[in-house]
Chains A and B, each alone.
Chain A
């Protein structure tokens, strides 16, 4: 089997084995669904509650994508500023770290109080979570220029703009895409966490809200179904970023080659 196929087939086989085991255990020991629902029961819930759950998914996804986009744009702009001037970087970098290490659950209530619009407040929270990897990776990438090529550009009297467009940005792309992959997942986590904190006071329609509600009602199968949707969304986002990265790097970078 080709290594590419292996990467897809083996995890799927593993999933089938685990699901069968899970189903067998739940049925065999007659475990009630409010403790652990069987995979079949979760699937049924997903179909029965489709309108509710997928509606919630769309809302969570909306927050995720908005904040992911915002984090990407803001992160890249900050990285450019850092690379253009040492002073800016030295002055601001500690605050970027500060932002990163402060748990979002701790700041979220404040943001939710300050920002009237519930959607905006959630987007701000999730953006804060997703921002740092983009800043850090893009800055590192813009600085990781082959010194020989840098000398070559200097020797040919390249302008600052030419060096940026033809050398720094292409050199930064692999790092930038690495940042995107991490941030896509973080944006989703940020959106869910912010929804949790906002709770019923927020928009009240996202997946996290559904999990909270299902918890109050001891509707464990629905909880699992919502959880499944969040996980699948995260995996799909990561996959999408990987495909995008492969497409953009077009096979020139070492990271896009499978070594056997």
Chain B
């Protein structure tokens, strides 16, 4: 086998002690360098699945492997993963530079090297001029960029993103989507992206994994066979609408009578 997959989920499931089934057993493989999106309504377990991949949650059964190692031994693979949360989760008391440097500080990277990497990372998201600002002085979109810069500073090969642009306005979200695709191409990242937006899923992904709620499960997989780079014109193309329709049908079918929830 020439290439080992970045992520392997082997019948992992999550049941909480109170009996809630957050996620039925699921299987999922993400190839190195792939952009995969988990799409589904609230409560479908997409965030739960992502957090299990990150090792933030333990599965109640099944296994999760990163580069063929259990998630808690990811350091042994010599690779790093980064997690970008729904909120920017920045330290409000620390300037942008210190916020981005945090993972390096926690890992004990020498200050000079860390500062150089922070500058590089901030330049990647176009915030090099804001290194000395406090988070509260930045807009929501800029705060999210800081969060992404913090994710990139450890030079990860796997980026896990949990509805990172969900709280932003549509225009800002579209721009950050484009920027993210650029970074993905330039850095050869593997991205697992969680969203409840059909349009975001179509625009970004090579492959969309459709999930449904009550109980959380995977119901469909759709490959978005469109070349990159994808410009803004892709968003208004016929192909885009067809993919969106395909995903919407899939969501509606899975949710049965709860069609309104799937559309929301």
- What is A's interface to B at a CB cutoff of 8 Å? 146, 148-149, 151-158, 162, 166-167, 170, 173, 249-253
Contact = CB atoms under 8 A, between A and B. Distances in A.
Nearest to A154: B56
A205 to B, nearest CB: 43
B91 interface: yes
A146 B93 CA distance: 12
A152 B85 contact: yes
A151 B92 contact: no
B93 A249 contact: yes
A64 B206 CA distance: 68
Contacts of B102: 152, 156, 166
B93 A250 contact: yes
B166 to A, nearest CB: 13
Contacts of A157: 106
B91 A170 contact: yes
B93 A155 contact: no
Contact of B106 (A146, A158, A251, A253): A158
Contacts of A162: 106
A148 B85 contact: yes
Contacts, number: 46
Nearest to A155: B83
B134 A152 contact: no
Contact of B103 (A149, A154, A156, A170): A156
Contacts of B83: 151-152, 155
Nearest to A250: B93
Contacts of B93: 170, 173, 249-250, 252-253
Interface in B89-139: 89, 91-94, 102-103, 105-107, 134, 136
Contacts of A148: 85-87, 89
A167 B94 CA distance: 11
Given A155-B55, A251-B134, 9 more contacts: A148-B85, A148-B87, A156-B106, A156-B107, A162-B106, A166-B102, A166-B106, A170-B93, A252-B136
**Which 8 pairs between the two chains have the least Cβ-Cβ distance?**
A148-B89, A252-B93, A156-B106, A170-B93, A252-B92, A158-B106, A148-B85, A156-B103
B222 to A, nearest CB: 30
B56 A149 contact: no
12 contacts: A146-B89, A148-B85, A149-B91, A151-B89, A154-B56, A156-B102, A166-B91, A166-B106, A170-B94, A249-B93, A252-B134, A252-B136
A149 B107 contact: no
B146 interface: no
Interface string B23-38: 0000000000000000
Contacts of A250: 93
B54 interface: yes
Contacts of A167: 91
Contacts of A158: 106
B199 to A, nearest CB: 26
Contacts of B106: 153, 156-158, 162, 166
Contacts of A146: 89
Give the residue among A156, A162, A251 with the most B Cβ atoms within 10 A: A156
Nearest to A257: B136
A154 B54 CA distance: 11
Contacts of A155: 54-56, 83
A157 to B, nearest CB: 7
Given A252-B134, A252-B136, A152 B105 contact: no
A148 B162 CA distance: 12
A173 B56 CA distance: 27
A151 B86 CA distance: 12
A227 B85 CA distance: 56
Contacts of A151: 56, 83, 85, 89
Given A151-B56, A155-B55, A166 B89 contact: no
A196 B15 CA distance: 63
B104 to A, nearest CB: 10
Contacts of B55: 155
Contacts of B89: 146, 148-149, 151-152
Contacts of B85: 148, 151-152
Interface in B173-188: none
Residue of B56, B83, B93, B107 most packed against chain A (CB within 10 A): B93
A63 B66 CA distance: 62
A154 B51 CA distance: 12
A247 to B, nearest CB: 13
A149 B87 CA distance: 10
A194 B107 CA distance: 51
Contacts of B87: 148
A173 B92 CA distance: 12
A166 B134 contact: no
Nearest to B83: A155
